[in-house]
Amino acid sequence: MSYSTFYIFFGLFVFLGMGVIYFLQNRIYKKYDAESFAVFYSLYRKGFIDRDELMYYFQPGSLFFMHRAQFIIMLVKRKKIKRTKRRWMAPEASQYILSVYELSWVKTYRYLIWASLFFFLLLCILYLIAKLHPNQ
């Protein structure tokens, strides 16, 4: 197999992989956007986050959905979440959210984030290969 054939197949693999990941992330976004809003609203009602944080996380769009999902992932994994310079999220917030909501989609979304990072690294490798062998 020649270099150009390898380069074409590698490039197609990366771009098709990124397309599939984007499609799956978009499906999760459309399906669970309202539930992610509900999680943050219930955190606000219980006093775990304040109004400013709630308004920050209520920004629309898939980019802020990813930010909300990352926050929920940290809650599900029971990680310490720093809210401000001196304030941390109470550990009871994780227990409360896990008792009220079924958040299995968060694990899938986390894998998709890692997969998109993997394909981005493959894209960087593809770029470096093209830079190292420009005339082949």
pLDDT given at position 39: 92
pLDDT given at position 30: 92
pTM: 0.79
Which of 41, 112, 45 lies closest to 73, judged by CA? Answer: 112
Residue pLDDT, tens place only, 24-56: 999 999 999 999 889 999 999 998 888 888 888
